[in-house]
């Protein structure tokens, strides 16, 4: 089941403050060992997050907003196999937003958001951490009809995921993962191929993800 609670309050001269709390229960699941008959009981999984929000006018036609959020994920009490520790994670992140009304045209509004900015999410093994789904969105709204009794708008938005995760991959097909440094020089412990492409598991930094 899924629970959601939100609030907001506007203060003249200060802006609007708000926030929300999310709770997601994944229910009870069966825990198994390595063998098909190795039944180890059951476990429950859940996730929750809390967010504090603030927004304010920059001018009569533009405004900005920011979210600061903390999340807790509880997947399982014990790791699987040789993994030691609990399958839980506490993480934080931020969202940024900007809105401009009357952009280039009185009937055209423009908005942009950058969401899920923060460190990687890890559970038991930090080396297996995954990046947060940092996302960039551009949106346009054009008011085709804006009369007293009738309104019609055309809305278009573009979403771009700014992070990507790559597994170990023999990109040049030479039968090896890596074996070269970033400059294409032979190095047994290197993670690149002759062309300088990284073949060991990695994720894109945000500045590369934008392009």
Question: Alpha helix (H) ranges present in the chain?
Answer: 206-209
Q: What is the pLDDT along the chain (211 residues), one digit of tens a residue?
A: 999 999 999 998 899 999 999 999 999 888 887 777 888 888 889 999 999 999 999 998 999 999 999 999 988 877 666 666 678 889 999 999 999 998 888 899 999 999 999 888 888 777 777 888 889 999 999 999 988 899 999 999 988 888 777 778 888 888 888 888 888 888 888 888 888 888 887 777 666 666 6
Rounded to whole angstroms, the Cα distance separating 68 from 55 reads 12
For residue 209, give both structure tokens.
């993800």
Asked whether the beta carbons of 178 and 191 are under 8 A apart, the reply is yes
Beta strands in the chain (DSSP E): 2-11, 15-32, 39-57, 62-76, 87-100, 108-117, 135-146, 151-161, 165-166, 202-203
User: pTM for this one?
Assistant: 0.68
């Amino acid at each position: 089941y899924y629970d959601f609670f939100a609030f907001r309050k506007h203060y003249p001269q200060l802006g609007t403050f708000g926030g929300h709390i999310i709770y997601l229960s994944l229910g009870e699941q069966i825990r198994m060992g390595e063998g098909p008959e190795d039944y180890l009981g059951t476990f429950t999984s859940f996730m929750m997050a809390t967010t504090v929000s603030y927004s304010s006018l920059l001018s009569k036609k533009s405004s900005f907003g920011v979210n600061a959020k903390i999340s807790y994920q509880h997947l399982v009490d014990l790791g699987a196999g040789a993994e030691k520790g609990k399958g839980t994670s506490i993480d934080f992140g931020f969202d940024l937003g900007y809105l401009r009304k009357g952009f280039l045209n009185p009937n055209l509004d423009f908005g942009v958001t950058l969401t899920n900015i923060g460190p990687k999410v890890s559970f038991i093994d930090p080396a297996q951490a995954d990046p947060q789904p940092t996302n960039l969105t551009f949106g346009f709204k054009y008011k085709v009809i804006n009369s007293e009794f009738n309104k019609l708008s055309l809305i278009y938005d573009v979403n771009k995921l700014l992070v990507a995760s790559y597994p170990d991959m023999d990109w040049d097909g030479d039968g090896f993962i890596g074996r070269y440094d970033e400059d294409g020089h032979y190095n047994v412990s290197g993670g690149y191929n002759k062309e300088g492409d990284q073949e060991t598991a990695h994720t894109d930094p945000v500045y590369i993800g934008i392009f």
